[in-house]
Every structure is written in structure tokens, then in C-alpha cells.
A = this chain, B = another copy of it.
Amino acid sequence: MIRIAVVDDKANNRKVITDKLSRNIFFAVAFQAVNGEDFLTQMRCLPEEDLPHIVLMDLEMPEVDGVSAIGTASSLYPNVKFVVLTIFDDDDKIFRAIRAGACGYLLKEESGEVINDMLMNLWESGAGPISPSIAYKILQMVQQPVTARPEKETGNIFQLSEREKEILQLLSQGLDYKEIGSKIFISPNTVKKHTINIYQKLHVNSKAQALRIAYTKGLI
């Protein structure tokens, strides 16, 4: 039985998706969430053996958007597969979602049959499900790799400020607030404030979790 979580802010969308999934007896909806924040909270409460195998994630949501939710969760739960399921297909969203850790990108216009087939194939062979038109856009990204892609879109899926990136870098070196403060000539209190702000952007609550994301997402 494949456990699948569905994250979408529209109740109707969730219903449509879960209905499609219910046609396949191997699929079970593990839980539903209405935004990234809600999703991450629910994930934290689940014991490991109840974690979903696959997460279907919409991108356009209030509070915490899908990209940053995938960025955090794919580092914290490396065995869970994250599949974007949305109506949008613009290059920037695709790129950022993939860099955040999505293994698939499906358009909602796909039929339930196609979605089910692709998810089953993901489970059996590990191949990420990708809608054809999305696949072509990804191909084009490979074709023009360094094409003046703004740095903020590529390396910065969490929207960290320059100061925050600097402090995350120093934290990774094992310095405490006092040491960092005297190194860059600000108060330890301010360092701490920055750190808390970083945690909020990464959706974590400890140094270890923040550093895990920083290392696995190439932030440092």
C-alpha cells in the first residue's frame, strides 16, 4: 500500500485528487494539508513508519509556498518522494521546484489514469513522473545551462538575505553567537535574531536541521 499525502489549499482540488487516487487500490491517502506550514507540521507529528511515500504538492499556496516546503521536507525526509501537481508550467517555478528537491512535476490537466500510472511507475522503478510539456522545458534548461539565470532564483530557494547567508555560513563553522558577533562586529543578540529568522525561513527549529538543509541544498 502506497501512502500518499495531498497538499493543496483548495478543498475542491484535494477532493478531485483524492478521488482520482482512490481508483487505484494500491494507493492510500496518508493525510491532506492546506499549505506548506500545515504540511510540515503534520509531517513532524508522524512516526517514521507512517510517513507518506509520495507527496503531491501544489505550488500556489498561502503561508508557506510549495517550493520552500519541498526544500525543507526533502532534506528532512530524504526517502519521501515529492511530486509537484499544479496548473502552472512557467520555467521559473519548474526550475525552483526541481532544485528544491521535487522528483516529478505533473500538470493537473493530466487525466487521473495518467497520474495513477505515473505514480505507480514512480513507486516501482523510481522514475519521477513528468508531464511531457514540462519535460521539454526541463530539456531546454539543460540546453542553455548558464543562460544568465538570476542567482536569486537558483541558489536561493529559501529567500535568505545576504546577511542571513553569511551568518548561516559562520554557523556551519561551529561558531557560537558571541564569536560570530565579534567576527562581524555586531551584537550576539543580533546574530541570534538573524539565526531565528533563518530558522523560520527554512522551517526548522535547530542548528542541526538548518545545517542539514544548508549542506544538502548547497547553501554553503
Contacts and interface: CB of A to CB of B under 8 A. Distances in A.
A211 B145 CA distance: 21
A78 to B, nearest CB: 9
A145 B143 CA distance: 12
A31 B98 CA distance: 39
Contact of A132 (B129, B171, B209): B129
Number of copies: 2
B135 A130 contact: yes
A127 B132 CA distance: 8
A83 B20 CA distance: 33
A80 to B, nearest CB: 13
Closest 10 CB pairs of A and B: A174-B209, A135-B135, A174-B208, A128-B136, A130-B135, A127-B136, A215-B215, A174-B206, A127-B133, A98-B142
6 contacts: A104-B139, A128-B136, A135-B135, A172-B212, A174-B209, A174-B210
A30 interface: no
Contact of A130 (B98, B139, B143): B139
A95 interface: yes
B76 A173 contact: yes
Interface in A117-142: 118, 121, 125, 127-130, 132-136, 138-139, 141-142
B206 A143 contact: no
